[in-house]
Amino acid sequence: MSSAAIYGCEGPVLGEEERRFFREVRPWGFILFRRNVETPDQVRALTAALRECVGRADAPILIDQEGGRVQRLRPPHWPAWPPGGAYLQAATDPLEARELARLGARLIAHDLLALGVTVNCLPVLDTPTPGAHDIIGDRAYAHDPAMVALLGRAAAEGLLAGGVLPVIKHMPGHGRATADSHHALPVVADPMKTLDAWDFAPFRALSDMPLAMTAHVVFEAIDRKRPATTSRKAVRLMRDDVAKGGLGFGGLIITDDLSMNALSGSLRERAEASLRAGCDLVLHCNGNLNEMRAVAEGVGRLRGAPAKRAEAALARVPATPEPLDETHARARFEARLAGRMTAAAGPAAGEA
């Protein structure tokens, strides 16, 4: 039985201590960062080694391959992808933007599946507001929740068509935050009516997706003391039926990275608080083995309703990917996004 956790690893090759730890705690899945990727063959070997540790060929391996500032796989071995905000700018109308977002995600899925990576932390469903911190910025598809939902669904469907599970993030919304939750705890004081119509709307529209990642953000209208990740009230809002004013999300809820400075307390306490609040899985990204051991002390086995949601998520992967003429599709995509296929310089959000 798996533990209710997803862990990173330190480098491009597993060390013996890491192997022993993963064999002992048997996490549900793993996540890769730039420190873990060098060449396609090396990444394939790493994903195989991670799965061997837990004895599960279907153990999910996650990555953040959004495009723009946030892409762990980069040239020269992998294409540079545009940020989410580029699709609407490059299109003549919303329908063309939708087609481009789906095609981009389908091509990204093709790249990921070839490496043994089966989950992409995309689409970003956060809708920025004026004055918000630029941690989201051009990672957002638009500055309108309806358009975010339209393009977010297109990206999610493109990933699924390519055999890769999407993760909607950061539920219930990070677009209004005035701080970067990697470094500080954002507090949003806007009333529920405003949040419901703007921030929550894209997540409600994509509530049928298999996986979601939480926001380390305090929404005073929901819980004045705790960020959404560790708030029972916030997680209940995510789960409640739309008819009751909730987001209606029935899939697997994963925390954002527990090592981010928005959260307080020890790593064990953060893990315990997240699971107690109703999250299904905790995520720890930086590959520090001592920190992972602390997280593991606060994490039990994945069982009951969370285990059923995990099983249902994996069942969403199609038996075979949708057919793709890769050469033609890439040429068409690159021609339409000419001049935008470059990665932003410098480290991205959560880069490691």
User: What is the set of active-site residues?
Assistant: 182, 256
Q: DSSP 3-state assignment of 192?
A: helix
CA neighbor of 118 nearest in space, from 203, 41, 189, 29:
29
Query: In this structure, is the dihedral angle defined by the CA atoms of residues 259, 35, 178 and 169, taken in order, positive or negative?
Result: negative
DSSP-assigned states of every residue in 327-341: HHHHHHHHHHTTT--
Query: In this structure, is the dihedral angle defined by the CA atoms of residues 138, 139, 143 and 147, taken in order, positive or negative?
Result: positive
CA 134, CA 118: separation in Å to the nearest integer? 29
CA neighbor of 351 nearest in space, from 211, 182, 229:
182
Helices (H) and strands (E) in the chain, counts: 12, 12
Residues facing 124 on adjacent strands:
169
Q: Tell which phi-psi region holds residue 170, choosing left (phi > 0), alpha (psi between -120 and 50) or beta.
A: beta
User: In this structure, how many other beta carbons lie within 10 angstroms of the beta carbon of residue 191?
Assistant: 9
